[in-house]
Chain A
Amino acid sequence: MKATCWMGPNKMEVTTVPDPKILNQGDCIVKITSTAICGSDLHLYNAFIPALEPGDVLGHEFMGEVVEVGRNVNRLEVGDRIVVPFPIACGVCRACKNELFSVCENSNPNAWLAEKLMGHSPAGIYGYTHLLGGFAGGQAEYARVPFADVGPLRVPESLSDDQVLFLSDILPTGYMGAEMCNIQKGDTIAVWGCGPVGQFAIASAYMLGAERVIAIDRFPYRLDIARERLGAVTINYEEVDSVPDVLKDLTAGRGPDACIDAVGVEGHSHGLFYVHDRAKQMMRMQSDRPIALREAILSCANGGTVSVIGVYGGLIDKFPMNAVMNRSLTIKTGQCHVHRYMKPLLDRIEKGEIDPTFVITHHLPLDMAARGYEMFNNKEDNCEKVVLKA
């Protein structure tokens, strides 16, 4: 089959590799119809998350048709049309029972490696760092899906691939980002990053009753989507001296009631902080650039919540713990517990409450995945989200 492989920093190649096989008896094999490139894939592409091997098949947002099932699979049948959630979860461990699917205790065969870096191991994830399992990903013609009875969601034929594909990751992720804010009447929510994840966080914050959402980014076309499509108030951080100052003004001194970091490890900035962060990153003194996270903490209203859905891969420096502690802030975070949100969000899509297709700017054939990465990474051609058709 054809598969998109990471061959080194900024080097993707679509090559021919053997077809996936059933390895565990709860697996199914899915013939992929649509798959997308995620902001998390960019962190891998740029090698900001450690432990990849040249030849790794990437991709964790995919859907398609079941073509084979393992002996222990009961719920799914060959021919079913499914969307696959990106965290791999067993469905029976204590974490899964508590609906904390992205920290499943059984799905990471490299748990010992993750434990060394993070203390404990989270769940396995498709096409991601080997620290999270070494599972081949879904930017390919076929993929193996472990725990097929637990994760995949059957979707109705009446909805197109584009309408349901993002149930695999970014729609639930944005939704969870907003849900963690515990939005109350009259709340103002600030969202850093207007990538697809940020856009879905904005849309979800409104769905959950926010009075106002303020969106921050530097790409005018991304800010336009947030403003025109979703009704956010937008700030281009390149055009202001200080984002926290502007937010203070917009909220008459209170600060946003909750702040969402939808940027993650590759935060960008133009100030002294940025130079300093880059230098420290190079001098092995930190591995991540927590620019948006710092701003979110400093901006957040007293007693408010900082919801971190942007991905971090290592250690950070200059973390304003004094602000968190003295101002009674709450930090909530996590890889999305996608399984929790798939069905309710599918219902919302069916009812027409949200149409996730608005983020798609590019459809490409799988063969052109490398070009897709390049465009999405460099934000060329007003690229917001790339969907690959296998």
Chain B
Amino acid sequence: MGTSSQSRAGGSGDSERAHTKALGATVRPRPSKTRPYQELADEDRGTGGESLANFLGVFSIGLGLAELIAAGPMTKIVGVEDDDRNRAVMRLMGVREIGHGVSILSKQQPATAVWSRVAGDALDLALLGRALANPDNKRGRTLFATANVLAVTALDVMCARLLAKQPETVANADADDDVIRTKRSITVGKPVSEVYAFWHDFENFPRFMRHLESVTVAGPQRSHWKAKAPAGHSVEWDAVTTEDRPNELISWRSVEGSDVYNSGTVRFMAAPGDRGTEVRVELEYKPPLGKLGSKVAMLFREEPGQQVQDDLRHLKQVMEIGEIVISDATKHPGPHPAQPDDEPVTL
């Protein structure tokens, strides 16, 4: 190997130079092509605690499955008598564990769900404590399982602490408590001009933002927004367009004195090749004080990034296939079996 690379290096000087040139000048993309992405990369810091919560979610589902399916062998591993009562307890722990996993994964507020996991660990520890106290049980095994649960508990507590004290995402790290910031992105398989034009018509928003009831254009730079709030209420505010660069970006914010403070920017960039348009949204909300305000806060505090991501995915569906795809389970707001029914669609 050494010889062949030596002979290549020491061989034809011309081809060597051509190669260097290719690497240095021809192959390397123009800085103007990469700079915008380097800037994005420098700013982006991911969603920190959220992904740790996800990991625990997966973990919970894994253990829950084992406890549920193999309650018998599981009791043996844990070191308690493999009788009906212990199996039943084991199954119960399994159900609880899966419940945690799913709620951590799907809950809009991971912090609460993770704390409920900590409570669950305490239940496990209490049960294992009883198993330890019972002289019939094999102590060694129970100790092993206890150590296992303890380790997970420590991880749970750490995660819950992280999520509780931290703003929803690391992207918010510098925000004061009242402001929620988030940013998300998607690639839409249509040319920039089309995606920009669609977004530019604010009245299209309710077609892909499910928390909006309507947006009406009220003047050249002004629009009136109406959003759904819990219990059949709604919230309304006016917004102004603060910047509009065709095929590049649109910024808006709610007008002074609105019940709801929010502002946002959407940027459009041609995706490489024929991949369509890269759409990036940044949003900022200040849930206002007062009764109405707290309702809106409830709406928006639900992991705001997730809602933006859903909206963007719906934008992609509306633009690429003309409507939002629904399944038997997702036509309902909460968990629902994948089974047809006669109820109306709630998105």
Contact = CB atoms under 8 A, between A and B. Distances in A.
- Do A and B associate with each other? yes
Interface of A: 3, 5, 9, 17-21, 23-26, 46-48, 50-51, 53-57, 72, 90, 92-94, 105-113, 116-117, 124, 127, 130, 133-137, 144, 146-147, 278-279, 281-287, 314-315
Contacts of A23: 326-328, 331, 345
A24 B328 contact: no
B106 A46 contact: no
A284 to B, nearest CB: 3
B8 to A, nearest CB: 22
Contacts of B342: 18, 21
A47 B313 contact: no
B148 A283 contact: yes
A53 B338 contact: yes
Given A106-B316, A112-B309, A50 B61 contact: yes
Given A90-B321, A314-B58, 9 more contacts: A21-B342, A55-B338, A72-B322, A93-B320, A94-B187, A106-B320, A282-B70, A284-B66, A314-B61
Contacts of A124: 325, 327
B340 A19 contact: yes
B158 interface: no
Given A50-B98, A314-B62, A136 B339 contact: yes
Nearest to A6: B337
B63 interface: yes
A146 B325 contact: yes
Contacts of B67: 282
B330 A134 contact: yes
A111 B331 CA distance: 14
A135 B98 contact: no
Contact of A133 (B306, B322, B329): B329
A299 to B, nearest CB: 28
A47 B68 contact: yes
B66 A281 contact: yes
B102 A51 contact: yes
A137 to B, nearest CB: 7
B340 A284 contact: no
A50 B306 CA distance: 21
B339 A116 contact: no
Interface in B312-326: 313, 316-317, 320-326
Contact of A284 (B54, B62, B105, B341): B62
Contact of B65 (A47, A54, A56): A47
A24 B326 contact: yes
B162 to A, nearest CB: 17
Nearest to A3: B339
B69 interface: yes
B101 interface: yes
18 contacts: A9-B69, A17-B341, A18-B340, A47-B65, A53-B338, A108-B325, A109-B324, A109-B325, A109-B326, A112-B306, A112-B310, A116-B105, A130-B329, A133-B329, A135-B329, A144-B340, A282-B73, A286-B62
Interface residues of B, number: 53
Contacts of B338: 53, 55-57, 127, 130, 133-137
B320 A17 contact: no
B19 interface: no
A127 B340 CA distance: 12
B181 to A, nearest CB: 19
B57 interface: yes
B59 interface: yes
Between B276, B321, B338, B340, the greatest number of chain A beta carbons within 10 A of the residue's beta carbon is seen for B338
Given A117-B105, A283-B77, A314-B58, A5 B323 contact: no
B102 to A, nearest CB: 7
Interface string B289-314: 00000000000000000100110010
A282 B74 contact: yes
A57 B339 contact: yes
B336 interface: yes
B306 A55 contact: no
Interface string B94-122: 00001001100110000000000000000
A111 B189 CA distance: 17
Contact of B320 (A90, A146, A284, A315): A90
A84 to B, nearest CB: 15
Nearest to A10: B69
A19 B341 CA distance: 7
Contact of B189 (A26, A94, A147, A281): A94
Contacts of B328: 20, 23, 57, 134-136, 144
A80 to B, nearest CB: 21
B335 interface: yes
A357 B345 CA distance: 40
A363 B243 CA distance: 66
B275 interface: yes
A94 B275 contact: yes
Nearest to A49: B65
A25 B318 CA distance: 12
A286 B59 CA distance: 9
A92 B68 contact: no
Shortest Cβ-Cβ A-B pairs, 10 listed: A134-B329, A55-B337, A284-B63, A282-B66, A109-B330, A20-B340, A53-B337, A136-B328, A134-B338, A134-B327
